[in-house]
Amino acid sequence: MNQSPASTLFLNRELGLLAFNRRVLQMAESNDTPLLERLRYLCIVSSNLDEFFEIRVAGLKQQISQGVAESGPDGLSPAEVFQKVCIESHALIDHQYALLNDVVLPRLAMEGICFHRRGHWTEAQRAWARDYFFREIMPVLTPIGLDTAHPFPRILNKSLNFAVELSGKDAFGRNSDNAVVQAPRTLPRFIRLPPDIAGCPYGFIFLSSILHANVGELFQGMEVEGCYQFRVTRNSELFLEEEEAKNLRLILQGELSHRQFGDEVRLEVAENCSDSMARFLLGTFGLDENDLYRVNGPVNLVRLMQVADMVDRPDLRFPRFTQSMPREFEKQPDLFAAIRKKDVLLHHPFQSFAPVVEFVRKAASDPQVQAIKQTVYRAGTDSELIDALIDAARQGKEVTVVVELLARFDEEANINWAAKLEEAGAHVVYGVFGYKTHAKMCMVIRREAGVLRRYVHLGTGNYHSKTTKLYTDFGLFTADGQITADVNEIFLQITGLGRHPGLKRLFQSPFTLHSELSSAIAREITHARAGRRARIIAKMNALTEPTIIESLYAAGQAGVRVDLIVRGVCLLRPGVPGLSERIRVVSIIGRFLEHHRVFYFHNGGADDIFMSSADWMERNFFRRIEACVPILEPGIKRRMMAEGLRPYLRDNVQSWEMNGQGEYRRRSARGGRQFSAHDFLLERYSQKPQ
């Protein structure tokens, strides 16, 4: 490969994340997106940005405070990245709120879904809001006047608060200029008005509007000069030392409470916040102007996600669809018999997750089943599958569950599940310290005709019933002897100690996945140099690992055609003359969150296809336990090409193509026939069982 400076080879990860959120915001901007879904996409951007600041920006600020000046693979120092991130973030958030105020809210109002602003209340609405304030809000508030005896209160991460400017003296003769009112998290952030008061079918008032209108009641005898909502975002990364972590669950439970009070990284205030109050808050939190975000609306849009579910207007949402069942299970209701006969592929969300839950349920009640082993990364707070595991343990099955306690922002839910599983008698382990268990594996061991047979489910996504209706993922049921033996070996590695023999079929992080994928790319290079057809197609959520990117550059330069379908961050520069002309990168942003990881290598006509839990990122290759499984059955290979790869390369409706500068342009049909991968798959599965 041609030698080039690192800065010309790699894009920046943080800027790539912001570019991804710009693409999500385009879904809110598009007239083709149903109106309530447009509101939902606005909220998704806010949720994504919260995590971006809590983790990525917090990390940058920490590096800067520690004096780290070393450039990353993109040639930028932490300080340079931070400045670019500030510029991009401010522009993105300004665009988001302009879209909310100028487009989405007015169009919702035209549909009878109104958010009544304080300056436009009718007398009836004002009276209703005042009554609601005295009845539901004021009793739970604790206003704090700031003086020597009342220091600035601790502000929870991402909580809603109000900074109040005051004049005059109170009953004790005190004349504090400022006060803080914290909104308890139990209070709703918006309240639905009765239709006769609202004057429309669905009328809402923001909690902040009610409090603004009545804040004087909290400071009797004083003048309220200003009241401004604000929110602080804090560093939410958890730091655990292995030497101190004698019991990971207990240590983590203590550490989670500290997340609410990590270092401040962002201050959001109302657009009308006075300069003096903004300076006061910035000084209080040790932030500067770069960290200040003035917003024209609620400082937290995430809560508005609930509106899309509260409003009964199916015509303003994506059309409903019914998830289908695999024909293998319709022909043969006995799951174990069906899996013995042939491998079975599930494609979510188009096919139901129910067979996976039923797989564990049947195992729980089947007297021939001896043991169940399962990994849990994200399962949610309400999980039918974990309930089935608990039931299996109570029925005396040997149940082993590897619960990843450090699944970011799911730690509390996983701690709770771990405790319930242990109470039921399951063996619960927390993986290997320093390596997140991200592999998605479930194994059932059954005694048949006097011998033990293993059945396995492997997935690209989490065992989370809710997200399987929203995320695109593949799941594979198999009884293949070598694959199931490999899965068993991985479980032994995680739960026990010692070295285990190499795997026969699966590639595994942190041991073989990186080297095997590098070898697969190298084989395509060899084929191309020999004049044979060479092709790589890879679909994933993120591509950031430098040596894999360099290998892909080398492949392209050798004549290999490379198509990459990367939903989120991609640090590779496609289409650069002399570097990557034969490499194309597209991102699909549509109704469903693209989540499956599928890798195809032509390999001289062998057509090797793999599905994996791992993205092509350094953490997935070297700091996580991941599984990558080859697809062996020709019929399933054809399906994965026909459903998991080709439609996404063909998409010209929800597809964005990336250039060498990291900029994305939406692909268009250009007078031809429009093709949406999601619509194609919905139609495919609505016609007949697959």
Contact 244, 251 (CB under 8 A): yes
- Report the C-alpha gap between 204 and 226 in whole angstroms: 24
**DSSP class per residue in 306-369:** HHHHHS--GGGSPPP-PPB--HHHHH---HHHHHHHS-EEEEETTB-SHHHHHHHHHHHH-TTE
Contact 417, 386 (CB under 8 A): yes
Q: Which helix (H) or strand (E) holds 594?
A: strand 593-594
Report the Cα–Cα distance between both ends of the chain, in Å, rounded: 43
Give me 429's structure tokens: 């382990």
Name, in order, each residue with C-beta under 8 angstroms of 417's C-beta and a sequence gap of 6 or more: 376, 379, 383, 386, 403
- Report the C-alpha gap between 675 and 655 in whole angstroms: 10
- Report the C-alpha gap between 574 and 610 in whole angstroms: 23
* Strands, sheet with 292-295, edge to edge from the N-terminal-most edge strand: 144-145, 178-182, 161-167, 223-234, 264-270, 292-295
The angle, 0 to 180 degrees and rounded to 10, between the axes of the packed helices 248-259 and 411-424 is 150
Residues belonging to the active site? 438
Strands 608-612 and 624-630: antiparallel
At 183 the three-state DSSP class reads coil
Phi, psi of 118 (to 5 degrees): -55, -40
- Residue 55 DSSP class: I
- Residue 389 DSSP class: H
- Report the C-alpha gap between 426 and 567 in whole angstroms: 37
Instruction: Count other Cβ atoms within 10 Å, centred on residue 665.
Output: 10
Q: How far is CA 683 from CA 347, 675, 676, 686, in A?
A: 14, 12, 11, 5
Phi, psi of 60 (to 5 degrees): -60, -45
Contact 603, 590 (CB under 8 A): no
Per the rule left: phi > 0, alpha: psi between -120 and 50, beta: everything else, 670 is left
CA-angle at 43, arms to 102 and 591, nearest 5°: 100
Give me 583's structure tokens: 């490499």
- Report the C-alpha gap between 210 and 212 in whole angstroms: 6
